[in-house]
Amino acid sequence: IRKLIIDVDTGVDDAQAIMLALSCTEVEVVAITCVSGNVHVDQVCTNTIKVLAACGRLDIPVYRGADKSLIGGGMEATHYHGVDGLSDAGIEMDVSGTKVQKEHAVPAIIKLVNQYPEEITLVALAPLTNIALAIRQDPGLGRKLAGVTIMGGNTQGVGNSTVCAEFNFAADPDAAFVVLQELNVRPTILPWEVNLSGTSCQPWDWFDEWIKTDSEKARFMKAIVQLPVHRQRVVGKMPFYRSCDLSAMATVIDPEVIAETQEVYATVELAGNYTRGMMVVDWNGRLGKSTNLTLVKEFNPGKARPHFERMLLDV
């Protein structure tokens, strides 16, 4: 069984990614670490505990991490995820007995990785503030991990939150820079573009059936997914359903979901007037650097669907 630490800014798609990981017997979630991103870290912790409650998994420790980006960025995404980060669905849940861990997320990540060397896969679904801070405290961190998957960055210079940058990188460009430069192992990155292509997303008729599943988890999911669905289906008139963090988690639990990858050298623009936070891929090797990450270029949605269907079943 592979151990996971999931770093989140829950967030509708983070919530879905957590639900997917918890439904999967091949992985054990040893910790969920929270960071400011889609909403403030305190709300992220509350939302994460609600997701764990919906899955009957309040035994999983939740750690509060960085409340702001290292230097700049610091944007929220409440227009997309709702003021509460979960579609403002007004979900009432009594989680008052459940506390966030006293320890900060950053030392918790370092402690767990050192406790289980080469056993933990880190799944980063949020601005990379916690991960950058952990690397600066333990520069050998990357080499002690079994793997790292990051949802974030973009490869074509078209942003989803600034003109040129993807949200997780734009919300803390300096942290993204530190992670790409100093992780010292090759992360797998699922960039924004993969989530734009028709092949990586799910058709609406499939989504409609999926969300109709007769289970408590599906009812929870239906409530929290409302706002992103409205933005995508009604406002954006997108021909398919997209959930970036859910897709990223699918690649972690089943590598067959990845249809095509490319090894590249990439870094993060920190200085541009319009481009700060943009991932810069050296497609033609002009910088003469060794490749430092594995980019997911194509996703196999048919392979992911059985996992998504299973995740809504109550056990």
Torsion of CA 29, 195, 128, 287, to 10 degrees: 130
Task: Please calculate the CA angle 32-33-36 and round it to the nearest 5 degrees.
Answer: 135
Answer for the pair 93, 216: CB distance below 8 angstroms, yes or no. no
- Radius of gyration of the chain measured on its C-alpha atoms: 18
Picked from ligand BDR, Ca ion, none, the partner binding residue 174 (CB below 5 to 8 A depending on kind) is: none
Binding to Ca ion (CB under 5 A): which residues in 113-132? 125-126
180 binds ligand BDR (CB under 6 A): no
Q: Which element (helix H / strand E) includes 208?
A: helix 204-211
Burial group, residue 234, by CB count within 10 angstroms (0-12, 13-18, 19+): exposed
Nearest-angstrom CA–CA distance, 293 and 169: 15
9 is catalytic: yes
19 binds Ca ion (CB under 5 A): no
Tell me the closest approach of the beta carbon of residue 175 to ligand BDR, in angstroms.
Answer: 14
Give the residue with the Cβ less far from Ca ion, 86 or 265: 86
Q: Binding marks (x or -) toward Ca ion, 67..106, rule CB under 5 A?
A: ----------------------------------------
Picked from ligand BDR, Ca ion, none, the partner binding residue 202 (CB below 5 to 8 A depending on kind) is: none
Strands (DSSP E) found in 254-299: 258-264, 266-268, 279-281, 293-299
Q: Binding marks (x or -) toward ligand BDR, 19..58, rule CB under 6 A?
A: -------------------x--------------------
Q: Which residues are catalytic?
A: 9
Q: In the complex, which residues of this chain contact ligand BDR (CB under 6 A)?
A: 11, 13-14, 38, 77, 125-126, 151, 160, 166-168, 192, 244-245
